[in-house]
Chain A
């Protein structure tokens, strides 16, 4: 992997604000992830140091929640729901089709960093089952054909 040098300036600005506003650790991590797209190890260490927390406490929280990512993610994010309602309405076939199409297993990113494909649990849109979220937009009543078409259309 290519070593990237991280720009800590926006992080330090956030942490100054976090200290002044007594922000909780979760909003700090959420906003940090908005800056870097994920939570690199050196960033977590810097957060711990600046907020006078133990590194284990910060890593503990960052690793607990599904929406915190400790590895770089693709330019497009696809989250396929496989909750009970989506599952009985055919999410399984969609997952198999997309995994074949992208050549990666769910939970991974294509080598060109274009797409991260994740299987998630109930998204609370069961009336539209099966559903997925593509780059933040909910798409419902999917079929495997429709989904592979949507994946193909990603710029």
Chain B
């Protein structure tokens, strides 16, 4: 059985408290990291193969390396706790049950890129997560893990929490930066990338909570150990959030590359009522669905891309036989139409038209040309929007149309 890394403390009574974290070996990677040079740490993370866990899977070491090394330049680190991809609930668990693991990751990361100020951006809906963050940060200050001269190293870091106000797009790093600056959360044009000009125009590194949680373990157990977990290109452990029609929905930590079938049947207890699987959303609502014949797909970045989908956030939504796929697709489309920030026309108008058309088809008011209209709308959105939200909205609709065309056609004749 796989020995848990990121969720090893989750479920231990009082796991959110600093003393429990310390008693379980917490904050031991920090002095080891502070004894190294930033360049050594960046090299370690590069060798570990760690890739971002927020959806894009960008190599973390490379991202760190983009930050300017000149100590005279003010730099920032942002902790992305704006978990909003439907089906995803891993970062919430990490923050609520093991906030000090995240903080240790933030301190090491900030030290490695030369930042003395870090910001947590948390989803406005995460009331408990907010309280846990505030308490954990206060305790970390009190014990000398935050503030000036951390553990007598001469390195200092300040960390504070900022609450979002309800916008999915703020999970996109430049939209988050805009929001932290007090503006509408509209993504920025790239380049310049945040590593060049981010928060308040300063070089900024934005990382997802789960990504940061890996950092102390890489420092403590070494990049070779880490790279030995998972597949050659998708290394390390990953938390899979399993929901939908399964018997035991929940977070399951497994090596990247674990087969989808194993996740659903061995860990999440199989499908409720012994029903057959109709489709599986592998990585959150923006990732195209897989079909039952694809259940042996290894859950890593490369294999899912090959299967025509994405690992995304690792949010596996299992959809059982008997579910109306037109309805599920309509629901996903409505979400993205609601969350489009409105900045660019292909996304603002396109997502709205997708949702309206699907609404019509779902309720039996569909017109003969509607399926072609939907396909055309997807074509007009994909690759033509200012930020990835447009692609996220169009890709699942397009796949659903391909896979369940007969069901859509039947709906145009009459609603189910």
How distant is the Cα of A62 from the Cα of B147 in the complex, in angstroms? 33
Q: From A92, which residue of chain B is reached at the shortest CB distance?
A: B327
Q: Which residues of the other chain, A, contact B179 by a CB distance below 8 angstroms?
A: 26
| Contact across chains for A136 and B338 when beta carbons are under 8 A apart | no
- Interchain CB contact under 8 A, A84 and B285: yes
- In whole angstroms, how far apart are the Cα atoms of A82 and B24 in the complex? 38
Residues B86 and A122 in contact, CB atoms below 8 Å apart: yes
Q: Chain B: how many interface residues by the 8 Å CB criterion?
A: 51
Stretch at the interface among A5-13, A97-105, A125-133: A125-133
List of B residues within 8 angstroms of A150 by Cβ: none
Is there contact, CB below 8 Å, between B182 and A25? yes
CB-CB under 8 A for A84 and B331, given A29-B165, A122-B85, A126-B241: yes
In contact, A67 and B166 (Cβ under 8 angstroms): yes
Report if B319 contacts A (CB, 8 A): yes
When C-beta atoms are compared, the residue in chain A nearest to B88 turns out to be: A124
| Segment of B15-23, B46-54, B243-251, B348-356 in the binding face | B243-251
Distance from B269 Cβ to chain A, minimum over Cβ atoms (Å): 12
A30 at the interface (CB under 8 A from B): yes
A67 to B170, CA, bound (A): 13
* A window 74-89: CB within 8 A of B: 82-85, 87-89
Q: Looking at the complex, which one of A60, A89, A121, A125 makes contact with B245 (CB distance below 8 Å)?
A: A89
8 Å CB contacts to A: which residues of B85-99?
Answer: 85-89, 91-92
B332 — nearest CB in chain A belongs to which residue?
Answer: A84
B28-36, B57-65, B123-131, B295-303 - interface stretch: B123-131
Say whether B249 contacts A126, CB under 8 Å.
yes
Q: Is B408 an interface residue (CB 8 A)?
A: no
Enumerate chain B residues within 8 angstroms of A68, measured Cβ to Cβ: 165-166
CB neighbours (8 Å) of A123 from chain B are 125
- Cβ of B331 and Cβ of A65 under 8 Å apart? no
**B88 close to A84 (CB less than 8 A):** no
Q: Quick one: closest B residue to A61, CB to CB?
A: B184
Does the CB pair B335–A66 fall under 8 Å? no
Do the beta carbons of A85 and B244 come within 8 Å of each other? yes
If the complex has contacts A30-B163, A61-B182, are A84 and B251 also in contact, measured as CB distance less than 8 A? no
Interface residues of A in 12-33 (CB under 8 A from B): 24-27, 29-30
The A-contacting residues of B in range 72-103, CB under 8 angstroms, are: 83-89, 91-92
B126 touches A124 (CB 8 A): yes
Taking a contact as CB atoms under 8 Å apart, the answer to whether A127 and B89 are in contact is: yes
- CB B3 to nearest CB in A, in angstroms, measures 22
A84, A92, A125 — most chain B CB neighbours (10 Å): A84
Are A84 and B184 neighbours in the complex by a CB distance under 8 Å? no
The A125-148 residues at the B interface (CB cut-off 8 A) are 125-129, 133, 136
A138 to chain B, nearest CB (A): 9
Cross-chain contact B180 with A88 (CB below 8 angstroms): no
Q: Which of B87, B124, B126 contacts A126 (CB 8 A)?
A: B87
- B162 contacts chain A at the CB level, 8 A cutoff: yes
Is B221 in contact with chain A by the CB < 8 A criterion?
no
- B177 → A minimal CB distance (Å): 12
Question: Which residues of B sit under 8 angstroms from A121, Cβ to Cβ?
Answer: 84, 86, 168, 335, 338-339
Complex CA distance for A26 and B167, rounded to whole angstroms: 12
**A85 (CB) vs chain B CBs: closest residue:** B243
Are A124 and B83 also in contact (CB < 8 A) when A65-B185, A66-B165 are? yes
Contacts of A60 in B (CB 8 A): 184
Cβ contacts under 8 Å, A128 to chain B: 249
Q: Which residues of B contact A83 (CB under 8 A)?
A: 86-87, 285, 335
Interface string of B166-208 (1 = CB under 8 A from A): 1110000000000111111100000000000000000000000
Q: How far is the CA of A30 from the CA of B161 in the complex (A)?
A: 14
Top-3 shortest CB links A-B: A66-B166, A65-B165, A126-B243
Given contacts A26-B179, A84-B285, A126-B87, 17 further A-B pairs with CB under 8 A are A24-B181, A29-B165, A61-B184, A64-B185, A65-B167, A66-B165, A83-B285, A121-B168, A121-B338, A122-B85, A124-B88, A124-B89, A124-B91, A124-B123, A125-B92, A126-B88, A127-B89
